[in-house]
Each structure stands twice: as structure tokens, then as C-alpha cells.
């Protein structure tokens, strides 16, 4: 028996606060998380000013209805191709392979970005 699950999202990896809020306003299926621009994450003392810029990662569930809105946001905001990808989260049970749905190819026709995988067994 094959009980595989797959979540497919378009991910913007380095948005500023205004871009993250705009994306969530334009697309109901969008969500974002805040992270430090310094991925190493150093501690800041009480007397030191926190001047590190904050970046936001945003996920949009990839559906046929969202492709055009994602593409328009990408173009209007001038997002760099290296700052986005298609994120595939797959949970595989009793199988070692899976096939990506057509929606991934459709999105790649609009924005030819990398594909990232997270696979759990």
C-alpha cells in the first residue's frame, strides 16, 4: 500500500517586511516567517544596537489559481531568481520514488526557478 503525501509551495526566501505583508494581502494562501539576515545568529548585548536587517521567507501553496498571482508578484517586486524556489515536501510510505504533479512544470514555465526537496520516510 502506498500512502505518500506531497505539499508543493512556491517559496520567496528573502523578502523585506513590506513585501511579505503585500504578498499575504494579495494571496490568502501565503504565509511568512521572519529570520535574521545573519544566518549564523549571533547574540546581541543590551548596549549594542540591533542593526542587522530582517528578512522574511514566504510560502504560497502552489495551485493553478495561484500561478498568475505568484508570477505578477515576482515581476512587480523585482525578485531575484536566486531568492525563490519551488519547495516539495514529501512523506513517503512503502515507496522509494514519486512523480511530481503537472503543476510544478506549469509553474516552471512562468518562473524557471530551482526546485528544493524535503523527503521524509
Each domain of the chain, given as residue ranges in start order, spans 5-35+54-120
Q: Is the pLDDT of residue 43 over 80?
A: no
**Mean of pLDDT values over 8-14:** 97
Q: What is the pLDDT of residue 33?
A: 96
Q: Rounded to an integer, what is the distance from CA 108 to the centroid of its chain?
A: 14
Task: Determine the pLDDT at residue 29.
Answer: 92
Q: Which of 2, 24, 25 is nearest to 12 (CA)?
A: 24
Kindly report the CA angle at 60 between 54 and 25, in degrees rounded to 5?
Answer: 70
Q: What is the pLDDT of residue 42?
A: 43
3-state secondary structure of 98: coil
pLDDT of residue 38: 55
Q: What is residue 97's predicted lDDT score, i.e. its pLDDT?
A: 82
Amino acid at each position: 500500500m502506498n500512502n505518500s503525501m506531497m505539499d508543493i509551495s512556491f517559496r520567496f526566501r528573502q523578502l523585506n517586511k513590506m513585501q511579505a505583508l503585500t504578498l499575504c494581502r494579495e494571496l490568502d494562501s501565503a504565509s511568512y516567517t521572519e529570520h535574521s539576515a545573519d544566518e549564523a545568529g549571533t547574540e546581541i548585548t543590551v548596549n549594542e544596537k540591533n542593526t542587522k536587517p530582517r528578512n522574511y521567507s514566504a510560502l504560497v501553496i502552489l495551485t493553478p489559481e495561484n500561478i498568475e498571482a505568484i508570477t505578477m508578484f515576482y515581476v512587480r517586486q523585482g525578485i531575484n531568481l536566486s531568492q525563490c524556489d519551488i519547495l516539495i515536501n514529501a512523506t513517503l510510505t512503502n515507496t522509494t520514488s514519486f512523480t511530481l504533479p503537472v503543476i510544478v512544470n506549469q509553474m516552471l514555465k512562468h518562473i524557471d526557478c530551482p526546485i528544493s526537496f524535503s523527503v521524509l520516510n
